[in-house]
A and B are shown apart, each in its own frame.
Chain A
Amino acid sequence: MAELRCAGLVKSYGSRAVLQSVDLEVPEGTLTAILGASGSGKTTLLRAIAGFVELDEGRIEIGETVVADSGVRLPPERRGVGYVTQEGALYPHLKVADNVAFGLSRAERKAGRRTAEVLELVGLDSGFGNRPVHELSGGEQRRVALARALAPRPRLMLLDEPFSALDASLRTDTRRAVLDALAAENVTTVLVTHDQAEALSMGQHVGVLRDGRLIQHDEPSALYTAPADLALARFVGDAVVIPGVVSAGRVSCSLGDLPLAHSAADGPVHVLIRPEQIALVEGSTATVTGSTYFGAETLVQLLLSDADEQAVTARIFSHEAPKLGDPVALDVTAPVVVFPA
């Protein structure tokens, strides 16, 4: 059963349409990542759910409660949502424990049990309670902010780019801690991010927002292997796009006659191939023109030696990478996706 249901959300600022009829359902106990470039309307969506943005149109239900509809606008404090912002917004005048206990009843604040419980949940020991917040590292600040939002047992957790200001090494650990804490509390979550890897790795579902429209809402693997359009294909990962022609359930292009991932009408198409689908074998149909080293893997730039001189990129293990100028042949390893040209 869906814990969060949004239907037909519309919001404009002046003449700028920020949300254009967004529908979104998030099943209970799952995490949906909303992926979008800056200006796509993702933060507005989150703030509308939280109750900080008044919608022009649309209906939002959290659990059994209609929190926004025409003529209904429940104030943020009565929506029962947890809301964590990019910077964490910890209260500088309060200690860690007082920050975490902030949304609890007076009795629960005094007892302190819930405070210790959620602090432990996010991976901080109770000794943190007495620390002033400005002594915390970035990762610790995010954890405290999450603990504070979790403490009152919200029905729905909203995370607005909570990891984007953290450096890479800290981000992985903090993500893990956040996911574990959310799972332990079994809280339904919407995470907003501009980071594809973050969306794909954290969300059970990923919704992609572009120009205020939810253009695809799917499981991460489906989003990656079967994106709704070419622009989205490029947005969620590296993409090689070459022209081709579909006929009889296969597509022929400069990389050969390839099987289709899903059926398509005959005619000219754009063929989407992920760089990791391309294997390098012995032969001389292409030349290595450059490479970018990423440690475990390397992105190899190649030029096909056919008439079109098509440039493609392959992702291979670094120890198998060829040298600059080497002749190679290419082999596409899995079915490909096509888009009408």
Chain B
Amino acid sequence: MAVAALAFTPVVITVVQALQGGASAAGHVLTNHSTPGLLLRTAAAALLATPLCAIFGVGSAWLIERTRLPGRRIWTVLLVAPLVVPVFVTGYAYANLSGTLQGFWGAVAILAFSYYPVVFLLVSASMRVLDPALEETARSLGLGGWATFRRVVLPQIRPALYGGLLLVLLSGLVEYDAFVAFHYQTFTIDIYSQYRLSFSASGAAALSGLSILLCLAILVCEALLRGGANYTKIGSGSRRPATRVRLGRSTLPALVGMVALVGIALGVPVGMLVYWWSNASAAGHAAARAELHYLGPAALTSVLMGLASAVLATILALPLAVLAVRHNGPVVTALERSVYVAFALPDLVAAIALAYGATRLVPSLYGTVFLMVLAEALLFLPFALVALRTTLGLIEPALEESARALGLGPLRTLWRVTIPLARPGLGAAAVLVFAFTLGDLSTAQVLLPPGMDSLGVHFDADARTVSFAAAVPYGAVMVAIAMAATFVLVTQFGRVRGLEAR
């Protein structure tokens, strides 16, 4: 309850801000002739990117979990990596690659290729624990591979798929970082300029109010889609690995598809970093070297911030995730969803709201590292929640009940049974938040204490004002850390300790 309230704080502050500006200011912004157009452009990009994410995510999950595609382990790492490569690095790479990628299609592409791993992670975790007997029965009843997938697998993975698409859609609607390198005017960018131009937060807040409404509408739709269908396993099911499809002649096209997906999503940003560095002039290299001595402190700041917000977000997400998994009911669902509503607040607006709230209520907090860490933790809480839920959902309630019958209270059961079993999920949640914090730009721009520098902020500043070459080392360090994070994610997401050995 307290966590949800905390997560909701920025939303409340935003609404207050919007109201404080007076009805006229808010009304002025909302009736501004560009507002409906902006809303439409933003929604269109996000709505187009979402089904693409579904196709990329589900398709690659099926190839990895259900076929004999060669090199599955390596592909898994490469498939997940684009999620944790900072999205603005990818943004600069796309924008720099081609002029056509700077507008609407660029926006769609970057959203699709940066966020499909969310779907991949959730869906493949869900496929991994599907009772293979369900599919085997379908095959013996005469269904082909595709029909089995459509009529048996797809309905079973639907909750994971919807959960992933919800995150993708909401991220897309409020994305800011991805578009800093673009000439694509989105809602969030408009909110940001509102804030920058007038320094009156109320106009920005009024616009954010719109995005919150949009998010509420999406949440309602998702709830309706998910409906009351029950997908829980009946009985204990069989715990054996699923039969994998022999791809045969389709191996080559499948591999080509994988190469294309990974190439665009991961190859382009990494390739552009290499290109910027190798194609820089001598002066560019000199400028880059001059910038280099900021790298150490910036990296240290980013890593420490990332660690702190990862720990905080995981701790905050744990009670919510336990509640969500173990207690079904409207109140619990509402609590869980409140986190998503807060998520629909553009990063920047949330950061501004927290900064505003801090200056008004707890001035001593403003400009501190703690406020920054809190903002990042709240911002990425939904990802931590999803990672934890996926793992907790695999832990049989009987394991916790046995502990209760053996004389342990609820808290000690959590400590001695749930947390040890969910350790991979806790790790995955922390790593996700860590990577996102590391790759965050806008929150850091608003809330980073004066005199401090993060990798992201420095990359952006260099790319903007010095040269791409100067930005390369910062980008390279971020990508390297992201790859390390990916490795943890791939081995830990959606797993339970001790279960994989069975």
A79 to B406, alpha carbons, bound, how many Å?
9
Chain B residues near A91 (CB-CB < 8 A): 399, 417, 421, 498
Chain A residues near B408 (CB-CB < 8 A): 77, 103
Is residue A212 contacting chain B, with contact meaning CB distance below 8 A? no
Q: Which of B405, B410, B498 contacts A149 (CB 8 A)?
A: B405
List A54-106 residues whose CB lies under 8 Å from chain B: 75-83, 85-87, 89, 91-94, 102-103
- B496, chain A: closest CB distance, angstroms: 7
Chain B residues near A133 (CB-CB < 8 A): 498
Bin chain B's interface residue count: 20 to 34
* B 464-502 binary contact with A (CB < 8 Å = 1; else 0): 000000000000000000000000000000001111011
A91 to B422, alpha carbons, bound, how many Å?
12
Is residue A272 contacting chain B, with contact meaning CB distance below 8 A? no
Q: Do residues A92 and B501 form an inter-chain contact, with CB atoms below 8 A?
A: yes
* A 303-331 binary contact with B (CB < 8 Å = 1; else 0): 00000000000000000000000000000
Is residue B401 contacting chain A, with contact meaning CB distance below 8 A? yes
Q: Which of B398, B403, B407 contacts A87 (CB 8 A)?
A: B398
A134 to B404, alpha carbons, bound, how many Å?
22
A134 to B497, alpha carbons, bound, how many Å?
12
Is residue A52 contacting chain B, with contact meaning CB distance below 8 A? yes
Is residue B296 contacting chain A, with contact meaning CB distance below 8 A? no
- B128, chain A: closest CB distance, angstroms: 15
Residue of A nearest to B395 (CB): A92
Q: Do residues B501 and A76 form an inter-chain contact, with CB atoms below 8 A?
A: no
Q: Do residues A89 and B401 form an inter-chain contact, with CB atoms below 8 A?
A: yes
Q: Do residues A102 and B406 form an inter-chain contact, with CB atoms below 8 A?
A: yes
Residue of B nearest to A50 (CB): B405
- A155, chain B: closest CB distance, angstroms: 12
Chain B residues near A51 (CB-CB < 8 A): 404-405
Is residue A132 contacting chain B, with contact meaning CB distance below 8 A? yes
A1 to B431, alpha carbons, bound, how many Å?
58
Query: Would A76 and B401 be within 8 Å (CB), given that A89-B396, A92-B421, A152-B407 are in contact?
Result: yes
Q: Do residues B407 and A93 form an inter-chain contact, with CB atoms below 8 A?
A: no
* B 176-201 binary contact with A (CB < 8 Å = 1; else 0): 00000000000000000000000000
Query: Would A75 and B409 be within 8 Å (CB), given that A85-B402, A89-B402, A92-B501 are in contact?
Result: yes
Residue of A nearest to B422 (CB): A93
Q: Which of B404, B416, B417, B423 contacts A76 (CB 8 A)?
A: B404
Chain B residues near A75 (CB-CB < 8 A): 404, 409-410
Q: Do residues A80 and B402 form an inter-chain contact, with CB atoms below 8 A?
A: no
Residue of A nearest to B421 (CB): A93
Chain B residues near A103 (CB-CB < 8 A): 403, 406-408
Chain A residues near B499 (CB-CB < 8 A): 92
A134 to B500, alpha carbons, bound, how many Å?
10
Residue of B nearest to A78 (CB): B407
Please give the number of chain A residues whose Cβ is less than 8 angstroms from any Cβ of chain B in the complex: 32
Q: Do residues A80 and B498 form an inter-chain contact, with CB atoms below 8 A?
A: no
Is residue B250 contacting chain A, with contact meaning CB distance below 8 A? no
A272 to B451, alpha carbons, bound, how many Å?
93
Is residue B37 contacting chain A, with contact meaning CB distance below 8 A? no
Is residue A210 contacting chain B, with contact meaning CB distance below 8 A? no
Is residue B236 contacting chain A, with contact meaning CB distance below 8 A? yes
Chain B residues near A52 (CB-CB < 8 A): 401, 404
Q: Do residues B398 and A89 form an inter-chain contact, with CB atoms below 8 A?
A: yes
Is residue B271 contacting chain A, with contact meaning CB distance below 8 A? no
Is residue A148 contacting chain B, with contact meaning CB distance below 8 A? yes
Q: Do residues A152 and B501 form an inter-chain contact, with CB atoms below 8 A?
A: no
Is residue B420 contacting chain A, with contact meaning CB distance below 8 A? yes
- B133, chain A: closest CB distance, angstroms: 15
* B 358-378 binary contact with A (CB < 8 Å = 1; else 0): 000000000000000000000
Q: Do residues A148 and B406 form an inter-chain contact, with CB atoms below 8 A?
A: yes
Chain B residues near A92 (CB-CB < 8 A): 421, 496-499, 501-502
Query: Would A83 and B401 be within 8 Å (CB), given that A92-B496, A93-B498, A134-B498 are in contact?
Result: yes
A149 to B499, alpha carbons, bound, how many Å?
22
Chain A residues near B501 (CB-CB < 8 A): 92, 132, 134
- B403, chain A: closest CB distance, angstroms: 7
A133 to B399, alpha carbons, bound, how many Å?
13
Chain B residues near A77 (CB-CB < 8 A): 403-409, 413
Q: Do residues B398 and A85 form an inter-chain contact, with CB atoms below 8 A?
A: yes
- B352, chain A: closest CB distance, angstroms: 43
A82 to B405, alpha carbons, bound, how many Å?
6
- A77, chain B: closest CB distance, angstroms: 5
- B326, chain A: closest CB distance, angstroms: 12
A82 to B403, alpha carbons, bound, how many Å?
10
A165 to B409, alpha carbons, bound, how many Å?
29
Query: Would A83 and B402 be within 8 Å (CB), given that A77-B408, A93-B421 are in contact?
Result: yes
* B 239-263 binary contact with A (CB < 8 Å = 1; else 0): 0000000000000000000000000
- B46, chain A: closest CB distance, angstroms: 40
- B339, chain A: closest CB distance, angstroms: 28
Q: Which of A79, A89, A132, A158 contacts B399 (CB 8 A)?
A: A89
List B74-109 residues whose CB lies under 8 Å from chain A: none
Query: Would A83 and B420 be within 8 Å (CB), given that A89-B396, A93-B498, A132-B501 are in contact?
Result: no
Residue of A nearest to B496 (CB): A92
Q: Do residues B404 and A148 form an inter-chain contact, with CB atoms below 8 A?
A: no
Residue of A nearest to B497 (CB): A93
Q: Do residues A76 and B502 form an inter-chain contact, with CB atoms below 8 A?
A: no
Residue of A nearest to B416 (CB): A102
Chain B residues near A134 (CB-CB < 8 A): 498, 501-502
- B392, chain A: closest CB distance, angstroms: 14
Residue of A nearest to B236 (CB): A87
* A 22-44 binary contact with B (CB < 8 Å = 1; else 0): 00000000000000000000000
Query: Would A76 and B405 be within 8 Å (CB), given that A89-B399, A91-B399, A134-B501 are in contact?
Result: yes
Residue of A nearest to B402 (CB): A89
A93 to B501, alpha carbons, bound, how many Å?
10
Chain A residues near B496 (CB-CB < 8 A): 92
Chain B residues near A87 (CB-CB < 8 A): 236, 396, 398
Chain A residues near B403 (CB-CB < 8 A): 77, 102-103
Question: Which interface residue of B407, B423, B501 has the most chain A CB atoms within 10 A?
Answer: B407
- A188, chain B: closest CB distance, angstroms: 15
Chain A residues near B423 (CB-CB < 8 A): 93
A149 to B402, alpha carbons, bound, how many Å?
8
Chain A residues near B502 (CB-CB < 8 A): 92, 134
Chain A residues near B402 (CB-CB < 8 A): 83, 85, 89, 102, 145, 148-149
Q: Which of B236, B401, B409, B420 contacts A93 (CB 8 A)?
A: B420
* B 10-40 binary contact with A (CB < 8 Å = 1; else 0): 0000000000000000000000000000000
- B329, chain A: closest CB distance, angstroms: 14
Residue of A nearest to B498 (CB): A92
Q: Which 4 A-B pairs have the closest CB atoms?
A: A92-B498, A103-B406, A83-B405, A89-B398
Given A77-B403, A77-B409, A79-B405, 7 more A-B residue pairs with CB atoms under 8 Å apart are A76-B405, A92-B496, A103-B408, A132-B501, A134-B498, A134-B501, A149-B402
B-binding residues in A (CB < 8 A): 50-52, 75-83, 85-87, 89, 91-94, 102-103, 132-134, 145, 148-149, 151-152, 158, 165
8 pairs, CB–CB < 8 Å, chain A vs chain B: A52-B404, A78-B407, A85-B402, A89-B396, A89-B401, A92-B496, A92-B497, A149-B405
